[in-house]
Structure 1
Amino acid sequence: MPPFRLFGEKQLPTAVIFMVWSPKRDLIALANKAGELLLHRLANFQRVWSLAPNENTGKEISSVAWRPDGKVLAFSLADTSRVVLCDVEKAEVLHCFPIESPVACMHWMEVSEENSNHTSVFSAEDESNLFLTKLPAVPKSYSTTSKIFSEEKSDEIMKLLDDVRLNILVTGGSGNIIEFYAYGMYKIATSCGVPGTCQGLCLSSDLKSLSLITEIKTTTNEREIVYLQLDTSLLSDYLPEVTRMARKFTHISTLLQYQKLSLTCMCEAWEDILMQMDLKLTKFVQEKNTTTSVQDEFLELLLWGKASPELQALLINQLTVKGLKKLGQSIESSYSSIQKLVISNLQSGSEALLYHLSELKGMALWKQKYGPIGLDSAKIEDAVTAVGSFILKANELLQVIDRSMKNFKAFFRWLYVAMLRMSEDHVPPELNKMTQKDIAFVADFLSEHFNEAPELYDRKGKYFNVERVGQYLKDEDDDLVSPPNYEGNPWVNFVQNSPHLKESPLLFPCYPTKSLHFVKRVMEGAIDLCLEKPAEIIGKSVKEASCITLYTTTINTSTPRLLELPSLWNEKKSGMHYVVFTMPEISSSKIYIMKRSTDFSRVVTCGLLAVDLGNLLIGNIDDRTDTCCYSCLDARFYDDETLTVVLETAEEDHRERILAQLPLNSVYINEKDFSWDPSQRLDQQSGHIPVQNVVLENQWRALDNMKAHYVAVNGIRRISCVLSSNLRHIRVFEMDVEEEEEDEKQDLQNASADLNQVEESLTSGDGSEVQEDCDTAETHDLQKENDSLLQT
């Protein structure tokens, strides 16, 4: 009996281009050519959820990576040049950020426990909970643009930060740039000058080195496959400082999103109906025949209770009593909502920003520890000042809202009574009383707000600016149309008359003529400057340590990217990087395995050997051995000691494919040293590479009725997933099953054969894929029959 138990089988309607097992859970992520991200559970290979492409994300997934704890899934989008972080539990987008160049590969690494012995230093980060209140949730009724700060889970930042140990998402692509993102959010380093297009990367768990596989085009039809090893020891040497800084910066980055979302909700709370008074007054000016100003018309109504025919027509026919009542309610509701968002959300977020930036400044002043990783106290001080200016502008908006609400209430109460009298309706007794103080208050409001504004003549046909709150929420660079009047303010006069105090860095700039959006952009720019410096400094410390040209090959555009060799593996126990590759042009029957130490200060044997599959000994259950000639289609590390491979026989008439476990202890039992010439490619020195023969014993299984090609494995869960060459037929195997069931049902094998026939029909004739064939009734019946057999 074969040692691997067939656990599940599936025929998918769309070709799969990525399949990655979760590092902790029984989940596998699949990305297909339609731009969908699918999550399947091991049990019967059932789909958990699917994330369809849209304008907010993208349609062309170029790489997929799991966070080491298996709670967050990252995927990159080639068409929109963005990376998206997705919550695995609910298929919700947690975070999305742009990238400088298209990403072709990603790797999400967590610092191992052996290298993370500074937990006491990291845990001090939690002290912020003692001083800061929990951020209020963003009201769901206003905005659904973000899931991070919804009403149900306003502390989603903790899901992104997770453990105290540092984890880093590394991205690489065609732009000669490698980017490091701490906790998947904050860019902690940018390394430039990487040659070619990155096809694979792996950051060591001790943070000492980064291994890369790049593809460099040499001619029109040829490319060189190159292995690079970059020295990232600065991250390792300053691990406590880098972790503490990264957590602070991630908090700050998330708070910036919170502020942006809160301001978006404020803009949505402001309604266009508030502009109705301005537009009607403008129309009144354009249509009236008298030379009397609008202000005089309303003052005459206030003092004498008389209105001109034009004003009476404006109030009774256009504004109407019902419209005035609705306008008053809208203004009060809108202003109250904006006021609550400023007080509860905007100010709370700003206070949290000030706290984290102040702590960051204290860290930057400890130059011995934080200077080498790029913390600049001067830039952080500029960011603190910018946040202070934002708080001042938010307080100014609160004052404008408070004053406007009082003015509008008094004005609408008087105007409501005046319109009732014009229409000869009953005036309620409680509204009929108006003191001399109330008349003076309304008169002041009319003289201040009902002046014609010449500066508005060319802006949307308006002549008035009665409503003063909306100008603060416009995302424009223009100055405020009606800035607040500070004449006679004792503090403003004192500062203006004190030159030394006026230029003091202790006072935050107030930008009296600018909108809240403008000050927010100033704040974001200042914070971005202090966040960019460490990424630049750490990025410059990343240097190339070694460069080995592996081989040359012809360009094959039909082969899916990132599903082919070479592949990388980080062995945590001994601190080694493994590179597995084949050289088809030199020998189709050999797998090459190269070892490189992650720590450049250690003297460790870095070897290279070839595993010969051309004389492979395969033991069967009767202890007989057969000699077969195989070539390797795909290989992935099952764990630190085992390599999972998909092999194909060399016979033209019978292309048998097998899934096998290749034990590395048998490969390295008689390891020999190999010294290569750096001036030559490895394929030019292939004759000198030591060769090992292996015996698979019973760790293999024939993949009948399937054109298997690619494999994804999870050594922790002891499972593997095999994908066919047409990228639609999947089989899942349990790898370490000690005892097979007494008899695998023959019906299951027949169903597999039927599925294989459907698979072959999908790539008929010239190889063009027929998308709709999988939806036919016959295929559906076969799938149901297969699933029912699997359940039994």
Structure 2
Amino acid sequence: MPAFRQVGEKQLPNPVLCMAWSPKRDLIALANTTGELLLHRLASFQRVWSLPPSEYTGKDITALAWRPDGKILAFSLGDTKQVVLCGVEKAEILHVFPIETPVTCMHWMEVMEENSALSSFYNSEDESKLFLPKLPTLPKSYSTTSKIFSEEKSDEIMNLLGEVRLNILALGGDTGFVELYAYGMYKIAALTGVSGTCRSLSLSSDLKSLSIIAEVRSADNDPEICYSQLDTGLLSDCLPEVTRMARKFTHISTLLQYLHLSLTCMCEAWEDILMQMDLRLTKFVQEKNTSTQVQDEFLELLLWGQSSPELQALLMNQLTVKGLKKLGQSIESSYSSIQKLVISHLQSGSEALLYHLSEVKGMSLWKQKFEPLGLDSTAIEGAITAVGSFSLKANELLQVIDKSMKNFKAFFRWLYVAMLRMCEEHVPPELNKMTQKDISFVADFLSEHFSENEELFDRKGKYFNVERVGQYLKDEDEDLVSPPNNKGNQWLKFLQESSHLKESPLLFPAYPQKSLHFVKRMMEGVIEQCLQKPAEVIGKSVKQAVFLPLYTVPESSENTPRLFELPSLWNDKKAKMHYVVFSMPEISPCKLYLLRRATDPNRHIPNSVMAIDLSQTLDNVDENNAAAQPHLAYSCLDARFYDDEMLTVVLQGPEEEHSGRVLGQLPLASTLSCETEFIWKPNQRLDQQSDAIPSQGLVLGNQWRELENMKAQFIAVNGIRKVACVLSSNLRHIRVFEMDVEDEDEEGAESQNATADQDVLDTTMSSQGQDEDGKEVKEQVEAAEHGGDEFQKTEDNLESEEALELS
């Protein structure tokens, strides 16, 4: 019986560009050339969901990474230069942030360092839940683009932050672009001094160093593969402070998004119907022959009950009694919605933002701890002031809404009665009563709002600004057309007369001429500067500790997809080591090389470079077995670390032998215990001194199987879940294996795998309905029940295999 049990096989319609196993579940994420993200289960390779590309994100997926808890999947888009965080349960986009250059690789790790300061911090972390109410969820009726706050529950920020323990998403790209994001959301370091295009990177779990494999153009313009180790000692030395700061700043950036979405909802609640009054009055002015002012004509109607033929035509033909009633209801409904959003969302969001910023300010004043991380108390003070100004502007809008609602109610009530009289219709007695106070109220409204403004016509194409709320919600830099009238405001008068209070930093500036959008943009800019400074300071503290040029890239590899290509990096948490596995087919095709460095750049490791000789790997050492495996010189197509002590490889025999391709497990214990020391010559690349590298032969025993009828090329593995996924050279043919199956436990293992993620599958299947993929999954489940372990082929598989055989 061959080693490793095959549990699934699939011919895919589109080539796969990235594949990554979940760290916690039997799920694998695939990204294909159309920009579609697919999630498959181990059992018969069933599809759980697919996320199609959208205009909002993009369709050129360049890298994938799972959050260490397996609940969120990050992927980068090359065409739109964005990183997207996607929820695994429901395939919904949770968060998107822009980046400067397309990402070529990403790695998401969790900090594993344990110390007493951290454990006490984790226990007392985030007391904001004791002091701040839960943020109200955004109304679902609005077309907000992000889904962070649209769920029934309102603990979305904590869901995005995940566990209290710090986790960091490392991104690498072209031209030395490397950035670190705490919790996958807040940029905690923007690194400088890295050269070349990142092919792979790995941050150590103790945060002491970052290992990078980069492709660098050498002096003679040949691409070289180089290994760099960067010293990130500041992050590990200040881990409790970094964690606290990162969580605070992640809260702050999420709250900024909450306020932005709340304002988007308010803009949608303010409808264009509110502009109809202004436009109709402008048309009336342009068409009428008389030289009288509009407000005079309305005042004449108010005082004497008489109107000019032009005004009568405007009211009866253009506005109509029915239209006026509808307009009044629309304005009241729209104003009420905006008012609710300001009170429940803008104000609660601003309070939470002030709370977190004030805590960050307190942290910044502890200079011994937080000054090395770039926290600047003066800049944070400015951010607090900006949030205060935004709160003041939101309160000003509430007052304008309140006043406008009273004015419009009185004005529409009077105009409705006047129009009923014009039509000689019955006027309800409850509307007919109008006191002198009501008349003077409407007269004031007409004189203030119905005056013609020639300047306004030049800017907006209308003479009037009857409606005063919309100007606060427009995303323009121009001043308010009708700022609030503050005459007689005793507080403002007191401030102007007080020489000490006028310039006091304790008072938030009000910006009476500016819109709510303008003040919000200003606040976002100030806070953004606060958030960026630590990333710059921490980034500059990171220095290159080691730089090792490995080998030149062979020209023949230009066409192979770089996303899967060796070298491969591994972060050994127990031994606190970085491992790099690579091959040099031009120099020694039958050898696989292993480079290791301590995560602490100051710690020396003997035997830093070793070679694994593959020429005798498949020799059968069983003397009693007559059918011994012939001696073949195998070369390595792809290798990935299965765990700290095992390497999973795809091997290829010499072409002239017509031998198949082999999936195998290489135990590294004997190689790592090699005693021969290799002395690196600093002026040479590794491939120029490869003869001096100590070599160790390995025999696989029964830890291998031939991959029949498949031109296998690439592999993705997960030692925790004991699974492997092999991909063909045309990137469309996939086989999935369980790597560590004991005979007696096969049935139990199979049932365990079938139920491991049933909750995920059930949720998704119920929400997506029985589409074509769902039918295929159902067929495969039934086939698996009847046919045991053997994979039952669907029509698609058969057709694709026939096409493969023909090719």
Normalising to structure 1: TM-score of the pair?
A: 0.94
1:596 and 1:211 map into 2 onto residues whose CA distance is 9
What residue is the counterpart of 1:7 in the other structure?
Answer: 7
Any idea what SS the aligned residue of 2:13 has? coil
In the TM superposition, what is the alpha-carbon distance from 1:619 to its structure 2 partner? 2.9
In the TM superposition, what is the alpha-carbon distance from 1:756 to its structure 2 partner? 8.9
Is 2:135 aligned against 1:135? yes
1:176 and 1:204 map into 2 onto residues whose CA distance is 19
What residue is the counterpart of 1:533 in the other structure?
Answer: 533
Q: Which amino acid aligns with 1:347?
A: Q
Question: How many matched pairs?
Answer: 764
Any idea what SS the aligned residue of 1:570 has? strand
What residue is the counterpart of 2:596 in the other structure?
Answer: 595
1:751 and 1:493 map into 2 onto residues whose CA distance is 83
2:794 and 2:711 map into 1 onto residues whose CA distance is 12
Is 2:648 aligned against 1:644? yes
2:120 and 2:174 map into 1 onto residues whose CA distance is 40
CA, structure 1 residues 259+6, in 2 after alignment: closer, same or farther (shift >3 Å)?
A: same
2:312 and 2:566 map into 1 onto residues whose CA distance is 83
What residue is the counterpart of 1:431 in the other structure?
Answer: 431
In the TM superposition, what is the alpha-carbon distance from 1:746 to its structure 2 partner? 12
In the TM superposition, what is the alpha-carbon distance from 1:43 to its structure 2 partner? 1.5
In the TM superposition, what is the alpha-carbon distance from 1:187 to its structure 2 partner? 0.2
What residue is the counterpart of 2:495 in the other structure?
Answer: 495
What residue is the counterpart of 1:576 in the other structure?
Answer: 577
2:730 and 2:232 map into 1 onto residues whose CA distance is 39
Q: Which amino acid aligns with 2:720?
A: I
In the TM superposition, what is the alpha-carbon distance from 1:651 to its structure 2 partner? 3.8
In the TM superposition, what is the alpha-carbon distance from 1:758 to its structure 2 partner? 3.7
What residue is the counterpart of 1:787 in the other structure?
Answer: none
1:655 and 1:151 map into 2 onto residues whose CA distance is 55
1:398 and 1:753 map into 2 onto residues whose CA distance is 64
1:532-568: per-residue Cα shift (whole Å, max 9, x none)?
A: 1100100001110000000002343321122010000
Any idea what SS the aligned residue of 1:616 has? coil
In the TM superposition, what is the alpha-carbon distance from 1:705 to its structure 2 partner? 1.0
Is 2:743 aligned against 1:739? yes
Q: Percent identity?
A: 72
Any idea what SS the aligned residue of 1:210 has? strand
1:606 and 1:621 map into 2 onto residues whose CA distance is 31
- C-alpha contact 1:177 1:193 (8 A) present in aligned 2: no
Superposed CA RMSD in Å reads 2.1
Moved more, 666-675 or 436-445: 666-675
1:58-111: per-residue Cα shift (whole Å, max 9, x none)?
A: 010000000000000000000000000000000000000000111000000100
In the TM superposition, what is the alpha-carbon distance from 1:757 to its structure 2 partner? 8.7
1:655 and 1:451 map into 2 onto residues whose CA distance is 91
2:662 and 2:76 map into 1 onto residues whose CA distance is 32
- C-alpha contact 1:706 1:756 (8 A) present in aligned 2: no
What stretches of structure 2 of length at least 5 have no aligned partner? 748-783
- C-alpha contact 1:386 1:523 (8 A) present in aligned 2: yes
Q: Which amino acid aligns with 1:169?
A: L
CA, structure 1 residues 756+223, in 2 after alignment: closer, same or farther (shift >3 Å)?
A: farther
1:406 and 1:652 map into 2 onto residues whose CA distance is 91
What residue is the counterpart of 1:671 in the other structure?
Answer: 675
2:421 and 2:537 map into 1 onto residues whose CA distance is 74
CA, structure 1 residues 752+219, in 2 after alignment: closer, same or farther (shift >3 Å)?
A: farther
What residue is the counterpart of 1:683 in the other structure?
Answer: 687
Matches within 5 A, 1:358-397: 358-397=358-397
Any idea what SS the aligned residue of 1:74 has? strand
CA, structure 1 residues 78+116, in 2 after alignment: closer, same or farther (shift >3 Å)?
A: farther
Matches within 5 A, 1:286-435: 286-435=286-435
- C-alpha contact 1:112 1:205 (8 A) present in aligned 2: yes
- C-alpha contact 1:148 1:154 (8 A) present in aligned 2: no
In the TM superposition, what is the alpha-carbon distance from 1:124 to its structure 2 partner? 2.7
1:6 and 1:620 map into 2 onto residues whose CA distance is 25
Q: Which amino acid aligns with 1:712?
A: A
Is 2:81 aligned against 1:39? no
Is 2:565 aligned against 1:561? no
In the TM superposition, what is the alpha-carbon distance from 1:152 to its structure 2 partner? 1.8
1:141 and 1:698 map into 2 onto residues whose CA distance is 61
In the TM superposition, what is the alpha-carbon distance from 1:504 to its structure 2 partner? 0.7
CA, structure 1 residues 478+763, in 2 after alignment: closer, same or farther (shift >3 Å)?
A: farther
In the TM superposition, what is the alpha-carbon distance from 1:217 to its structure 2 partner? 2.7
What residue is the counterpart of 1:782 in the other structure?
Answer: none
2:719 to 715, 718, 732: 715
In the TM superposition, what is the alpha-carbon distance from 1:499 to its structure 2 partner? 2.4
Q: Which amino acid aligns with 1:84?
A: V
2:805 and 2:69 map into 1 onto residues whose CA distance is 38
Q: Which amino acid aligns with 1:408?
A: F
1:225-269: per-residue Cα shift (whole Å, max 9, x none)?
A: 000100001100000000000000000000000000000000000
In the TM superposition, what is the alpha-carbon distance from 1:113 to its structure 2 partner? 5.2
Q: Which amino acid aligns with 1:724?
A: S
Q: Which amino acid aligns with 2:738?
A: E
In the TM superposition, what is the alpha-carbon distance from 1:366 to its structure 2 partner? 0.2
1:669 and 1:696 map into 2 onto residues whose CA distance is 17
- C-alpha contact 1:565 1:580 (8 A) present in aligned 2: yes
1:358 and 1:656 map into 2 onto residues whose CA distance is 65
Matches within 5 A, 1:610-625: 610-619=611-620, 624=625, 625=628
What residue is the counterpart of 2:253 in the other structure?
Answer: 253
2:280 and 2:24 map into 1 onto residues whose CA distance is 64
CA, structure 1 residues 585+441, in 2 after alignment: closer, same or farther (shift >3 Å)?
A: same
CA, structure 1 residues 128+286, in 2 after alignment: closer, same or farther (shift >3 Å)?
A: same
Is 2:187 aligned against 1:187? yes
What residue is the counterpart of 1:769 in the other structure?
Answer: none
Normalising to structure 2: TM-score of the pair?
A: 0.92
Moved more, 8-17 or 258-267: 8-17
1:757 and 1:707 map into 2 onto residues whose CA distance is 17
Matches within 5 A, 1:213-232: 213-218=213-218, 222-232=222-232
Any idea what SS the aligned residue of 2:610 has? strand
1:119-169: per-residue Cα shift (whole Å, max 9, x none)?
A: 221343331001000000000102331110004233211111111100000
In the TM superposition, what is the alpha-carbon distance from 1:112 to its structure 2 partner? 1.1
Is 2:169 aligned against 1:169? yes
2:115 and 2:85 map into 1 onto residues whose CA distance is 26
1:117 and 1:384 map into 2 onto residues whose CA distance is 29
CA, structure 1 residues 751+332, in 2 after alignment: closer, same or farther (shift >3 Å)?
A: closer
- C-alpha contact 2:176 2:195 (8 A) present in aligned 1: yes
